[in-house]
Structure 1
């Protein structure tokens, strides 16, 4: 469960006084919805506490409080309720922006290479490497360890209670008259710790806790002579609590398991000495580590030397290893394949990719979904109403109808046990936590239950083009060798162009060099290189004067020599331009020798992703700042409408217009120039969410950077909401059935306790199915 309380009795700090603090505690033993409610209420009564966020799935309690509040004042109430509490971790101060660490070096390259290549693709995106926010750093090694379930205090109490119950049965068989005291004594073994927790909860503002209801029911059963049932019900209650704990532990282990992906040690190179093993948690930004074949990468970084295939499935869910070499980024927790890599660390342990994902998912688990908020409000009315009903059932028939006191008190006690809302309250957050964990392990990062719930209802997705539907960088699509030139064909044209671009970092130059390398073209050496301002680049290659320029610049150069492009050459250029491609013309010795066409190509899965959305009844539209010709080409290929040449505020306006027509809109972009539209949309999704801006701006992030991740998110959301509906039906359905059967005398105390703890275990187990579901 995620519980939140805000206390406005304490005024905001005056200017100049210290801001409120946020402290997160790892808390063990919180297994159901009532646990969160008790902790929330207890801490909410502490003077100086402003807000409390409880996540049962995450096993965390985050308290916003005044600086003067002592740690013991926060820890004592939780321990009094029977929970284990780990050391507090400071989160960013309330109302302040978290500190940004610049050690991860944003690599936004400016391209000043003066190609006048005509209409270039709109590459306005700067994708920094993975630097992150410092939220105080969650050192998961310092969290309280819950250990094996059979070694915990709940298991020991179940064993003691079970042994006492078995002994009571043995005594009763040997000496029947001894049952009158044997079963009450056996009951006390489990009831005394339960009653203590009930008293602590009542003192801290939760009088209708499950422990209170259990204590009243057990004592009442003894009073009316149902001693054997009283002892058995206490034992079953403890067994149910143990099962709840096992299920809850399984649920929260899904995301925490990510932290174990990072190795404990790393091989560090220092001053030319042999590599030395050091703790991975101590890696500093700038440290150079050696990653051998088969090793897990110990930290986020950039490859200095070496080439290898890296298995990124543990981090992104990508099943196919990616080949990476010098200059490429690597992530902590990924597995090195066949090569030795030297990697410069770009993020401290607390800020690496896995730590950020874990932190963001944990924070997401602390935010409530609309359904969860409704269930919490309902439960606050439900339990007192059932307690009142139990009192009426116990008192009204004997008083008004002359019924048997023992019979109707027994039924009232059974209804009392049915009254705990644990299963109902945990039904929503358990499913949401499992859904969030499932998504995080597959590179689908959703920042809260509200985003997960809203995604199930979206009707339209508005996509950015560059870097979202397309790869974000140009690639060579066509190489044409003009007839009548002794050039040697397309390979020679590409080789000469690559010779002129050698050493340039301009996106178009990089694309040409990559095409030459990909096609195995030998790149000759160029001399006398010169940039032609606003036109292109020129030089000498193999004794020939060679120029690579835009069609307009090439026409101007040729006109100076009294030469013109042939009509068929002009037509070919026009046809390529009509396809949204950027064309460069290669001149050799003052004559047209060939041309190259480049375009920011669609992502490989773009068409399939749009089709997958269409199959589930969701429309798609493109909103881009790129030129209309390029946008229309992409939109026509995908079969969607396009809005081009938009400013950021125009994208936001279109999102608002769609919403005004009744559409629920998800906006997908890179989180930078799409920020206003991401904020305006019902759900904002950042593509390639490894950047800080993407993670901060959007409600969700597709860490793969794939279009197919969007329908996968929708599928996960819809599956989660279906799971929630199933859970609510089980929780309320079981209670309704047992309520009726108890009143008519078919069931008694034993089934009543199963209606509570059994339903809680069922809904938690049902939610756990989401951990392994593949969207």
Structure 2
């Protein structure tokens, strides 16, 4: 048995484990209850999302081996973790990060095994009826072995009425009354549910590994003699000077000492265009250098840079979610023992107190036990959840488990990221302002300069010119990029440049009255560039990341459902207000990942919150929200961190998720009423002697059939039609906003910097080229 690694003094009694197979809050609660009962155990902290366990242990009272033995008895595999003060999570580069085929996992093999036995039993019922009962009994007993062991271990460790206990009692009771087929199906469905929880939890854990993979493994460090050598990023120290070439990722947070360039900060801040960087500017780990060479002084080590902090925000947000007990688990804690007690009372009380006939009341007590058999109750919730998940998947609404599906129906607020979520995530041409000549002429000249550009703004300008069918002039010698200022090329008429308003202002070529137009464009959240010819400003071109075609409809549908809609974005205030006003929702702007996380916390004070995002910078907020929803075209990290995903990239999908959740919750309540209501009716008839044992069996079997059929109705789920939403959908602030056609399938997960002034806005918006 491997020894558990301990932290150095004074934390000599802190143990840390990775607990494999811990996939839900019920698992976490079971482990907590068991370990808290061990003498000398304290500060038990279980994070099922990360499969992590830590506790303080007085080894004079309880040896470490007892902790491992207790976890094994509960059905989990515990692997010791060495203490590491680094902020990067353990194990993501080793075997922990390796993906394993689902059929090779323990739960996957269990599902396949029970499914195969169930198939054999079905075959026997069709071709060898005499063997059918024995086949179903064998399937049930084999499938019950792992669950029964866990139920017994939980009972001995402080969780006597766990979900395993309830399911085991239901299956054994069904076998005892001759409903072996029903028992076998219950065991199989329970195994499938456990397996799906395991898959969803594993996918969520993979998101953290994706975050770490954004960081480069080596950095180019410049020594005092100006020689450059490559070192692992974890060896960087504060004060080191690194060289970042075009195309390289910044190895850690730092300050630019020399050079001008533009950085794609999409992984960190969500900038909608690359951000100009010069001497004295801050750069973030994992940002991609677009053009010039930069010399950067490191200000944070790899263990404490922005990406590392985001990783820990995700971990802490996942761990801070309060364990949510499944409905059936909570109820079973009272239902099962109460049912048994009532049956015993029915058998004994009348004969003892009133001298009634023992046979009659024992018979009625047995009928009560059969009526109380919780098969229908066990199936009521998972059957509805399974149908709801399937109905959602058919409409491109991926929900990673029943807990998330239940939570969605009760959200009070939906918080949206902007870039790539409410918007298409790419700049599009919105305005052409001609100072000299016509609009088409200005756009054609700009497209000539930008032709061959890899910059999102340049691509959008060229695509817009091509869409209009303009004849793009030929350049002589190609374009020349002036980092941080403009890009210039020679045309037949002379030199033409496309650059920032700040550059044009510094050159003194902005004509009278143009500043007001630039301010107006900036107020609408648009990025403007100035087109010059022979040192004369001849026009302006404005671009903006436009809303998705269904964004306004999606917001209106949420309002019609009584759900508040808020936009949380790292973009500047003007850009955020421009989009928010068009869509009719609130906006909180200029939020870095930690600020988004704090905003989610504030919103949760008013009720459950759903966060919708698509970028890496959204991952902490997605994890911290009551339920996180990712756009299907978003980053892998957002998809893995979120509890649900909109695979069709439709904003109205979030309203459909809320409707689906509410329909599922209603179905669950109906199922519970059916299951318990029928039992209540038959209990009353049993007490007056009109229910036989066969009728008691029928009560449970009939309830199971009704519950299953009711759950299957969810497969026909259709969202509420837009025209039926009422006056809320027609509010003036939610007018339908139709953006221009996607010019080039571009994608930019960045946000534009704050245009607090025209020159500041344009300085960060002008194009960049790599030649």
Whether the TM-score (by the shorter chain) exceeds 0.5 is yes
> In the alignment, does 2:103 pair up with 1:140?
yes
1:280 is matched with none
User: Counterparts of 2:141 and 2:451 in 1: how far apart (Å)?
Assistant: 79
Query: How far is 1:761 from its partner?
Result: 4.0
Contact 1:549 1:585 in 2 (8 A): yes
Q: Secondary structure at the match of 2:342?
A: helix
User: Counterparts of 1:147 and 1:217 in 2: how far apart (Å)?
Assistant: 17
2:583 is matched with 638
1:241 is matched with 183
Contact 1:481 1:595 in 2 (8 A): yes
User: Counterparts of 2:131 and 2:187 in 1: how far apart (Å)?
Assistant: 22
2:373 is matched with 420
1:462 is matched with 415
From 451, 455, 479, give the equivalent of 2:404. Answer: 451
Contact 2:376 2:704 in 1 (8 A): yes
1:548 is matched with 498
User: Counterparts of 1:511 and 1:196 in 2: how far apart (Å)?
Assistant: 62
From 461, 482, 486, give the equivalent of 1:536. Answer: 486
Structure 1 134/67 Cα, relative in aligned 2: closer, same or farther at 3 Å?
A: farther
Superposed, 1:159-558 pairs within 5 Å as 163=130, 204=152, 234-235=177-178, 237-241=179-183, 244=186, 370=324, 372=326, 374-440=327-393, 442-483=395-436, 485=437, 489-526=438-475, 527=477, 529-542=479-492, 544-557=494-507
2:674 is matched with 730
User: Counterparts of 2:141 and 2:636 in 1: how far apart (Å)?
Assistant: 49
Contact 2:115 2:188 in 1 (8 A): no
User: Counterparts of 2:600 and 2:547 in 1: how far apart (Å)?
Assistant: 23
How far does the alpha carbon of each residue in 1:723-757 deviate from its partner, in whole angstroms, 9 at most, with x for none?
22112112211211111111112221112123334
Q: Which moved more, 1:244-253 or 1:614-623?
A: 244-253
> In the alignment, does 2:654 pair up with 1:710?
yes
Structure 1 471/673 Cα, relative in aligned 2: closer, same or farther at 3 Å?
A: same
How far does the alpha carbon of each residue in 1:19-51 deviate from its partner, in whole angstroms, 9 at most, with x for none?
75655599xxxxxxxxx99xx99xx99xx9x99
2:538 is matched with 593
Query: How far is 1:607 from its partner?
Result: 0.5
Structure 1 549/709 Cα, relative in aligned 2: closer, same or farther at 3 Å?
A: same
Query: How far is 1:602 from its partner?
Result: 0.9
Superposed, 1:582-661 pairs within 5 Å as 582-660=527-605
User: Counterparts of 1:756 and 1:396 in 2: how far apart (Å)?
Assistant: 25
What CA RMSD, in Å, does the superposition of the two structures yield over aligned residues?
A: 5.2
Contact 1:157 1:238 in 2 (8 A): no
1:300 is matched with none
User: Counterparts of 2:365 and 2:665 in 1: how far apart (Å)?
Assistant: 35
Query: How far is 1:505 from its partner?
Result: 1.7
> In the alignment, does 2:710 pair up with 1:766?
yes
User: Counterparts of 2:52 and 2:473 in 1: how far apart (Å)?
Assistant: 65
Structure 1 723/12 Cα, relative in aligned 2: closer, same or farther at 3 Å?
A: farther
User: Counterparts of 1:209 and 1:657 in 2: how far apart (Å)?
Assistant: 38
Structure 1 420/427 Cα, relative in aligned 2: closer, same or farther at 3 Å?
A: same
Query: How far is 1:608 from its partner?
Result: 0.7
Query: Structure 1, unaligned stretches of length 5 or more?
Result: 1-9, 27-35, 56-61, 79-87, 103-131, 166-186, 219-232, 259-363
Q: Normalized against structure 1, the TM-score is what?
A: 0.59
How far does the alpha carbon of each residue in 1:559-617 deviate from its partner, in whole angstroms, 9 at most, with x for none?
4xxxx5254x5554444333222222222233343321111111111101110101101
Query: Structure 2, unaligned stretches of length 5 or more?
Result: 9-13, 55-62, 201-317, 720-771
User: Counterparts of 2:332 and 2:493 in 1: how far apart (Å)?
Assistant: 85
User: Counterparts of 2:522 and 2:181 in 1: how far apart (Å)?
Assistant: 72
Q: Secondary structure at the match of 1:390?
A: helix
Contact 1:90 1:135 in 2 (8 A): no
Q: Secondary structure at the match of 1:397?
A: helix
User: Counterparts of 1:91 and 1:430 in 2: how far apart (Å)?
Assistant: 34
User: Counterparts of 1:428 and 1:494 in 2: how far apart (Å)?
Assistant: 60
Give the number of equivalent residue pairs: 552
User: Counterparts of 2:624 and 2:551 in 1: how far apart (Å)?
Assistant: 24
How far does the alpha carbon of each residue in 1:109-149 deviate from its partner, in whole angstroms, 9 at most, with x for none?
xxxxxxxxxxxxxxxxxxxxxxx983542243885546988
How far does the alpha carbon of each residue in 1:662-720 deviate from its partner, in whole angstroms, 9 at most, with x for none?
34332333453344544443333333465342135444333444322221221222122
